[in-house]
Amino acid sequence: MKIIMLGAPGAGKGTQALMIAKKYNIPHISTGDIFRANIKEGTELGKKAKSYMDKGELVPDELVVDLVVDRLGMDDAKAGYVLDGFPRTIPQAEALDKALESVGDKVDYAIDIAVPDENIISRMSGRRACVSCGGTYHIVNIPPKKEGICDVCGGKLILRDDDKEETVKNRLSVYHKQTQPLIDYYSRKGILKSVDGTCEMEQVFKSITDILG
């Protein structure tokens, strides 16, 4: 099963993608996580990506596409995957389709998690991320067992630069301009499924599994 997650930043894509990956036993491939890992390791790619990410802008397509295509070619992705944060532009979606078509493959579902902008801003200011493993929490909705500490690895939890309010506003406008057109793109292909992302996390997951089976 090959799944793409769509939705504004903060709509809950990452959380739902992780739950899908676990239930269907497929890898969770997050371009944001890949960039953050590169930033942490101080790679050239990380340095380039950081300058865009800190401003809430998208990393240029040419830095993203090959990275994802290579990752999808790995053995663990043969039976399926859930892509979180990619594609984010029409050229990325077209490049993905082309790469998949060349091996006789295609995306099965594009799942859009719909959440209005006003909910997004308040959600993201409460978001906390682990500096060590990248795990995400929310001070109200998904609090860690111990304040400021990651449940999984004991790392410190911080407000990511790209979750700060000004950056979130910019990310939302970038989303509407560059990523929202993908909803039409996948709708035209007949694989778009939309779920109400304002419900409780478990309810959103149920709507998704009702679709995926």
Interaction of residue 85 with ligand AMP, rule CB under 6 A: yes
34 to 63, contacts with ligand AMP by CB under 6 A?
A: 35, 52-53, 56-59
Check 13, 36, 50, 128 and give the catalytic one.
Answer: 13
159 to 188, contacts with ligand AMP by CB under 6 A?
A: 162, 171
Q: Which residues contact 191 (CB under 8 A, 6 or more apart)?
A: 107, 108, 109, 110
For residue 9, count CB atoms less than 10 angstroms from its CB and return exposed for 0-12, middle for 13-18, buried for 19 or more: buried
Interaction of residue 88 with ligand AMP, rule CB under 6 A: yes
Helix 165-174 crosses helix 117-125 at what angle (to 10 degrees)? 140
Strand pairing class (127-130; 136-138)? antiparallel
Interaction of residue 9 with ligand AMP, rule CB under 6 A: yes
Instruction: Clarify whether 36 is annotated catalytic.
Output: no
Instruction: Clarify whether 160 is annotated catalytic.
Output: yes
Nearest by Cα to 15 from 164, 132, 134, 104:
134
Check 36, 88, 123, 128 and give the catalytic one.
Answer: 88
Cβ atoms of 172 and 9 within 8 Å: the answer is: yes
Among 67, 81, 86, 120, binds ligand AMP (CB under 6 A): 86
Instruction: Clarify whether 188 is annotated catalytic.
Output: no
Which residues would be at the binding site for ligand AMP (CB under 6 A)? Answer: 9, 31-32, 35, 52-53, 56-59, 64, 85-86, 88, 92, 162, 171
Active-site amino acid positions: 13, 88, 127, 160, 171
